A and B are shown apart, each in its own frame.
Chain A
Amino acid sequence: MSMPRGTTVAISIVGVTLAAGSLAADTAIQAPRLGTPLSAGEVAKWDRTIFADGRGLPPGRGTARDGRIIYAQQCASCHGVRGEGGTAEELVNEPKPPSADNPSKAIGSYWPFAPTIFDFVRRSMPPAAPGSLSADETYAVTAYLLFANGIIPESQEMNAAALSAVRMPNRDGFVWIDVKK
């Protein structure tokens, strides 16, 4: 059995930095540097971030009419037939910010950004088979949820540009606490 050479290097670094008192600063030069460089093409296979402004949304399109069928098949059993909630969260409420009388955290009343819906459905839903919906199906179910909350008309197509342009009722409803904007 051979001892990987890097192990010896790493141990000596710990000794040096403990003496110097600053791990991060002193190992910046001496760290093993074992990371493998990735090409832009390789990064693209990993990068699934979708930002609030729509950066990262993939090509594709869908409408609430198509999304209604997908919702009934894939979502209603947990979220309720009309998105009223069940074993999983309420998704549908009024298209206006929450209040003391209606402290709803549904999409229409609480979610500040529409691309977040697409992102969360794509990465996490349905729970038994995340990633099983196509981009078109994901746009369609996103469109349906926006329509059901009274935010877009039933016929409006959702795609990368259209979804990025949707302004959510509670967009300005949040105050950053532990980090500055």
Chain B
Amino acid sequence: MAGKLTDDDLIPVAGGGLLHRRLFLGGGLVLAVAQTATSLRAEDAPRPHTEDPADPSWLHQTGLPFSGYGTPSRYEKRVVRNTGGNRSPAGDGVSWTPLQELEGIVTPSGLHFERHHDGVPDIDPNVHRLVIHGLVQQPLEFTVSDLLRYPMISRFLFIECGGNSNAGWHEEPIQRPVGDFHGLVSCSEWTGVPLSILLDEAGVDGKASWVIAEGADAGLLNVSLPLAKLKEDAFVALYENGERVRPENGYPLRLIVPGWEGITHVKWLRRLHVTDAPAMTRNETAKYTELLPSGKARMFTFVMDAKSLITSPSPGQKMHGANVYEIRGLAWSGRGRIAKVDVSADGGKSWAEAHLQEPVLSQCFTRFRSAWKWDGKPALLKSRATDETGYVQPERDVLVSERGREGYFHFNGIVCWAVDEDGTISHVYA
């Protein structure tokens, strides 16, 4: 049962039993949490009581040896990236961050989502180079050890694939755990060299306005990016969450373009071609453009607009009877900080402002929490993010009426979870 709650605390501030966010301010609040249904699989179910919790065997023997690099507990094996979309060849596909299994705002590096077009290159950092050429006074080549000697900056930033949540455009609501639907987004502390320093060293020509960035994967993936954005806040990351960037996340060098869609964060960065026009590559024409009902298509839709999701309770988890629950979720915006997140338990008829957990950083995951007195009756849960520019996350039907359903990319509509009387949770359009 909930602890430390008074009768006054339990007076709802919005329909369906949502409580005031002040409940989170004092700390020590004890709320029920929906349980991950997957944790109830047979292999994870409580074992026969061969161990006495008051005096388990591990109190009486030397534990495991030291390890060069730690790994999660063997009891957490379900917390992995699900791999999907892999077709022919095997290198073209995705793996999703299991958002429903994680807390806080940092995604463990080994669970950062992947989108590769032709596999993960096994790059020797002693061979790898970054070349800057084109409309510059002096074309330059940098080794990785050169770049490690430059001044660096660190930022906590989300990266979201432009194709994340694309099932939101489907005619029927997809039924999957939230990570396997929306998990092409992750958040890390990225550390590296401001690109402006390297561009200045090469001496950018006044006529330059675009930069074509190319990665060292088998597909030599390339995209065109406006020079102004790269000079403003882009950087060449060498570290992720304190350690060198993982191979699948771009080792040894990844271009970080804060707030912009994932394809612009070129992994395995090898070349920056400074120029006066976009190249119109396949990945900015045939892909990562959004076909509208008019027959025209949106192009260079770089910014990831504000978005939020309830990660608990969410599909695949289960409620355990009427109680006061903690609703947990994530919000982010490519345009800046999250200003507020509203939560609804009645399908959007009424809203209660959620508590935003510190830190609240620009272009970064923000964790929100809300207290919900569930009466055991059917409910419709939604979250709605507003960023510091005043942009409000749209309802799905508004987004679909504006964009149609053929755009595929940039789905950021409000998502609705239906809670049934028996405690099951499903994805609905409402």
Q: Which residues of A contact B (CB under 8 A)?
A: 4, 6-7, 9-10, 13-14, 17, 23-24, 27-28, 31-38, 40, 42-43, 46-53, 77-78, 87-89, 97-100, 103, 105, 107, 110-113, 115-116, 119-120, 123-124, 127-128, 130, 173-179
A77 to B149, CA, bound (A): 47
**Inter-chain contacts of B142 with A (CB < 8 A):** 34-36
Q: Does B302 belong to the interface (CB within 8 Å)?
A: yes
User: Which of chain A's residues have a CB closer than 8 A to the CB of B301?
Assistant: 177-178
Contact at B222–A28, with CB atoms within 8 Å?
Answer: no
Are A119's CB and B282's CB within 8 A? yes
Q: How far is the CA of A52 from the CA of B254 in the complex (A)?
A: 26
Given A36-B142, A130-B218, output 16 extra A-B contacts at Cβ < 8 Å.
A7-B149, A10-B151, A28-B200, A32-B149, A34-B149, A37-B139, A38-B131, A47-B271, A48-B220, A52-B278, A98-B291, A115-B280, A124-B117, A127-B219, A173-B296, A174-B296
What is the minimal beta-carbon distance from B234 to any residue of chain A, in angstroms? 11
Q: Given A23-B151, A47-B133, A174-B299, are A31 and B197 neighbors across the interface (CB < 8 Å)?
A: yes
Tell which of B64-72, B88-96, B238-246, B367-375 binds the partner: B88-96
Q: Is the CB of B149 within 8 A of A36?
A: no
B128: Cβ under 8 A from any A Cβ: no
Once bound together, how far apart are the Cα atoms of A116 and B287, in whole Å? 12
Asked if B202 and A174 sit within 8 Å, CB to CB, the answer is no
Q: Number of contacts between A and B (CB, 8 Å)?
A: 189
| A87 contacts across to B, CB distance below 8 A | 87-88
Count the B residues whose beta carbon is within 8 Å of the partner chain — how many?
65
Return the CB mask of B188-208 against A: 1 if under 8 Å, else 0: 000000101110111000000
**Contact between B133 and A46 (Cβ–Cβ < 8 Å)?**
yes
Enumerate chain A residues within 8 angstroms of B404, measured Cβ to Cβ. Answer: 100
Are B222 and A77 touching (Cβ within 8 A)? no
User: Within 8 Å of chain A (Cβ to Cβ): is B120?
Assistant: no
CB proximity of B333 to chain A, nearest CB, Å: 14
Assess the B285–A112 pair: CB atoms within 8 A.
yes
Given A128-B89, A130-B220, the answer on whether A174 and B118 have CB atoms closer than 8 Å is no
Q: Is B231's beta carbon under 8 Å from chain A?
A: yes
User: What are 23 sample pairs from A and B whose C-beta atoms fall under 8 A apart?
Assistant: A7-B149, A23-B194, A24-B200, A27-B197, A28-B197, A31-B151, A35-B141, A37-B140, A46-B270, A51-B279, A52-B277, A88-B87, A97-B295, A98-B295, A111-B286, A113-B285, A115-B280, A123-B220, A123-B222, A127-B219, A128-B89, A175-B298, A178-B301
Contact A120 B118 (CB under 8 A): no
Find chain B residues with CB under 8 A from A177 CB: 298-302
Q: Please name all residues of chain A whose beta carbon is closer than 8 Å to the beta carbon of B297 when the two chains form the complex.
A: 98, 110, 173-175
B interface vs A, CB < 8 Å?
A: 87-89, 91-92, 117-118, 131-133, 138-143, 146-147, 149-153, 194, 196-198, 200-202, 212, 214, 218-222, 226, 231, 270-271, 273, 275, 277-282, 285-286, 289, 291, 293, 295-303, 404, 406
Q: Which B residues touch A43, using CB under 8 A?
A: 131, 133, 139
How many whole Å from A29's CB to the nearest CB in chain B?
9
Taking a contact as CB atoms under 8 Å apart, the answer to whether A24 and B302 are in contact is no
- Are B271 and A46 in touch, CB under 8 angstroms? yes
Question: Using Cβ atoms and an 8 Å threshold, which residues of chain B touch A46?
Answer: 131, 133, 270-271
Q: Are B212 and A49 in contact (CB under 8 A)?
A: yes
Contacts of A37 in B (CB 8 A): 138-141
**CA of A113 to CA of B299 in the docked complex: distance in angstroms?**
14
* Contact pick for B285, options A13, A24, A36, A111, CB 8 Å: A111
CB of A134, distance to nearest CB on chain B (Å):
17
Closest Cβ of chain A: how far from B263's Cβ, in Å? 13
- A100 CB, nearest partner CB in chain B, Å: 6
| Cα-based distance from A120 to B212 in the complex (angstroms) | 14
Q: Is B285 within 8 A of A23, CB to CB?
A: no
Question: Given that A24-B231, A35-B132, A113-B285 are contacting pairs, would A127 and B150 also be in contact in the complex, using a CB cutoff of 8 Å?
Answer: no
Are B282 and A103 interface neighbours, CB within 8 A? Answer: no
B275 CB to nearest A CB, Å: 7
Our pick among B89, B140, B219, B300 for the contact of A123 (Cβ within 8 Å) is B219
A175 to B278, CA, bound (A): 14
B131 touches A105 (CB 8 A): no
Residues of A within 8 A of B291 (CB): 98, 103, 105, 110
Pairwise interchain contact B118-A116, C-beta atoms closer than 8 A: no
CB pair B281–A38 under 8 Å, yes or no, is no
- Tell me how far the C-beta of A9 lies from the nearest C-beta in chain B, rounded to whole angstroms: 8
**What distance in Å separates the Cβ of A147 from its nearest Cβ neighbour in chain B?**
18
A119/B281 contact (C-beta < 8 A), A23-B153, A88-B87 known: yes
Complex formed: what's the CA distance from A42 to B280 in Å?
25
Looking at the complex, which one of B131, B133, B220, B275 makes contact with A124 (CB distance below 8 Å)? B220
Chain A residues in 8 Å Cβ range of B143: 36
